Structure 1
Amino acid sequence: MKLRKITAATAAVLALGLAATACGSSDDDSDSGSSASSGGGGKIKVGIKYDQPGIGLKEPDGSFSGFDVDVATYVAKQLGYEPNQIDWVETKSADRETAISRGDVKFIAASYSINDERKAKVDFAGPYLLAHQDLLVKTDSDISKGTDLNGKKLCSVTGSTSAQNIHDTIAPKAQLKEYSGYSECIAALQNGAVDAVTTDDSILAGFAAQDKYKGQFKLAGLKLSNENYGIGLKKGDSATLGKINDALTKMVSDGSWQKAVDANFGPANYKNDPAPKIGDIVK
């Protein structure tokens, strides 16, 4: 009898332990957005740029702004996450594939152009914006085509191929100037140290739309390349890929996409292409 009493008591303790374990089995494992289907009380980590006005910018008060931020916020909402459940993670261009493969973020929206080399490492939803390499010049500039850059000073950031491509293919007499960041290029354009700045038109429009630069610059509208911006995520995560593509489609159809374009690029008179269709990559 004594043995039976001990066994019954032990069984009761075990049952209570198993019940407690079951109740606590939903530990928050969504730090990188692993529960992206529901959100709940967890968090999702999203990669963006911190230093591109109009695209992805960390403001002095710690908030975030830009077209990519608006797109990512909309997508996260469709995945079940409120804005206060998003942890924004700075992902510089050289670190994007590593951040995804390592699980530092669930997805990245950071002026991330889709190309074959990147597609070998990560999957892409979208595209959600078709950008183009262009020139930013002063509003009174007479530069209207690539050949006008011959004898002019053309700025881009160190390591970028944008200015070199123009020099090699369009304006061999252009004087190339390199700075560590686009902010320095824009400041140089403002004070006359350079005659033009080149990179994606969306990035240039974002800078030109800043209050301190409004009315001072214009885009040349040359469309020197096609840059299909996509949302990068871990290779093989087809479930999340499908949900993000659905979210992007909905963002366009309900007008939120155009509203975000106008809010972030409109002050620079950015003439955007229509929203691209999912999977439609323009070469």
Structure 2
Amino acid sequence: MRQPRRLFYGLTIALTLASPVTAQEGSASVLEQVRKKGNLTIAHRESSVPFSFLGPDKKPMGYAVDICLKVAEAVKKQLALKDLPITWRQVSGADRIQVIESRQAELECGSTTNNAERRAKVAFTVPHYITGARYLVRADSPIKDLADFEGKRLVSTKGTTPLKAIERANKDRLLKIQILEAPDHAKAVEMVAKGEADGFAMDDVLLFGLRAASPNPESLKVVGKLLTIEPLAIMLPKDDPVFKRLVDEELKRLIRSGEAQALYERWFMKPIPPKNTALNLPMNYLLKEFWKYPTDVVPN
């Protein structure tokens, strides 16, 4: 029975490459699009340390970037290509979904949360991290949790789930917080450091990375209970089942082989750019449990 299944799967791939099958009428399948243009376009972030950021040489690097490069190898193998150049496309929290939805990039490798609202426009693979929103404040700040921001200024990055979470909590709890929007994570950290905001709400793992990369890490601290639970995953175009299956299977292979855990150790436990310091963030129990039976299905 195994041989017919392999033949059926191979036929499915061949038909997909020959006949466009996508969510957007008249557009090519992702694999056909990659074959025709001769490269794979990967969207990346500028300052989502340690997931996706620009290194000292201004080239993309990070945990999610390394995972995407593994996926790129799987795409190259599937298409039987000798070489598959990577074209990098920098995106922000505000435009990343639109870039994938409009097929300006085949993969987005950053720190994007998989949730129901976004799945209406794009697809996600197996989560590579599970985190939650907390707060970055100055080291001398008395703020310990969200309620302490009452009447104060709290910034978050435009287009992110933590921004929506604090807007909702502010309204529900009548906290009268002045909520500010920053164009990117780096600007939000700068606003806290300069006293333009009393805190920065974002996924805690990003806050630790941004703190470590800041000019004066000891002047900042991360506080508060988790406001949200955020499964972070690579984003890809919606309604292309063959491409999604390829990406999902590569993520599962990385997890089952231990390669994903090795990448985690590299970016979360060992010294990394730009300051060659370690985040020292062991894998949390949420991700450990999720990876026992890796899937793209998440509770939200």
Superposition TM-score, scaled by structure 1 size: 0.72
Q: Which of these residues, 226, 235, 260, is aligned with residue 223 of structure 1? A: 226
Deviation at 1:49, TM superposition (A): 1.8
| Ranges in structure 1 where 5+ consecutive residues have no aligned partner | 1-29
Distance 1:168 1:150 in 2: 11
Compute the displacement of 1:70 (Å).
1.9
The alignment partner of 2:110 has SS state of coil
In 2, Cα distance between equivalents of 1:83 and 1:134 = 42
How far 1:132 sits from its partner (Å)?
1.2
Question: Residues 216-237 of structure 1: CA distance to partner in whole angstroms, max 9, x if unpaired?
Answer: 4333252211222222223232
The reply on whether 1:279 has 2:296 as its aligned counterpart is: yes
Is the alpha carbon distance of 1:125 and 1:176 closer, same or farther for their aligned partners in structure 2, counting shifts above 3 Å? Answer: closer
Instruction: Tell me the CA shift for residue 281 of structure 1.
Output: 0.7
Q: Which has the larger radius of gyration?
A: 1
2:247 aligned residue (224, 244, 247): 244
Aligned counterparts of 1:97 and 1:194: Cα–Cα separation in 2: 27
Preserved contact between residue 125 and residue 232 of structure 1 (Cα < 8 Å): yes
Distance 1:258 1:118, change over 3 A: same
**In structure 2, how many angstroms separate the alpha carbons of the residues matched to 1:249 and 1:232?**
16
Using the alignment, how far apart are the partners of 1:211 and 1:129 within structure 2?
Answer: 22
Question: Relative to structure 1, is the Cα distance of residues 235 and 268 closer, same or farther in structure 2, using a 3 angstrom cutoff?
Answer: same
Higher deviation after alignment, 109-118 or 252-261:
252-261
Match of 1:145 in 2: 145
Question: For the structure 1 residues 233 and 191, does the alpha-carbon distance in structure 2 shift closer, same or farther, using more than 3 Å as the test?
Answer: closer
1:193-230: CA deviation from partner (whole Å, max 9, x where unpaired): 43321022233233123163444433325221122222
Residue 69 of structure 1: how far off its partner (Å): 1.1
Distance 1:185 1:94, change over 3 A: closer
Say if 1:222 and 1:255 are closer, same or farther in 2 by CA, change over 3 A.
farther
Post-superposition offset of 1:165:
3.2
1:242 aligned partner, one-letter code: R
Change (3 A) 1:196 1:102: closer
Give the 5 Å matches for 1:67-78: 67-78=63-74
Distance change >3 Å, CA 33–CA 201, structure 1 → 2 = farther
Aligned runs of 1:55-204 on 2, under 5 Å?
Answer: 55-59=51-55, 61-80=57-76, 85-139=85-139, 141-157=141-157, 160-170=163-173, 172-204=175-207
3-state secondary structure, aligned to 1:274: helix
Mapped partners of 1:108, 1:264: distance in 2:
18
- Equivalent position amino acid for 1:109 in 2: C
Compute the TM-score of the two structures, normalised by the length of structure 2.
0.68
Tell me the amino acid that sits aligned with residue 125 of structure 2.
A
Displacement, 1:53?
3.1
Give the Cα–Cα distance (whole angstroms) in 1 for the partners of residues 71 and 51 of structure 2: 16
**CA distance in structure 1 between the partners assigned to 2:200 and 2:113 by the alignment:** 19
Q: In the superposition, relative to structure 1, how do residues 97 and 183 fare at CA in structure 2: closer, same or farther (>3 Å)?
A: closer
1:185 aligned counterpart, secondary structure: helix
Once the 2 structures are TM-superposed, how far is the Cα of residue 172 of structure 1 from its aligned partner? Answer: 0.4
Aligned to 2:275: none
Q: How many residues align?
A: 250
Seen in structure 2, the aligned counterparts of structure 1 residues 89 and 242 have a Cα distance that, compared at 3 Å, is same
Query: Take 1:118 and 1:104, find their aligned partners in 2: how far apart are those partners?
Result: 17
CA RMSD of the aligned region, Å? Answer: 3.4
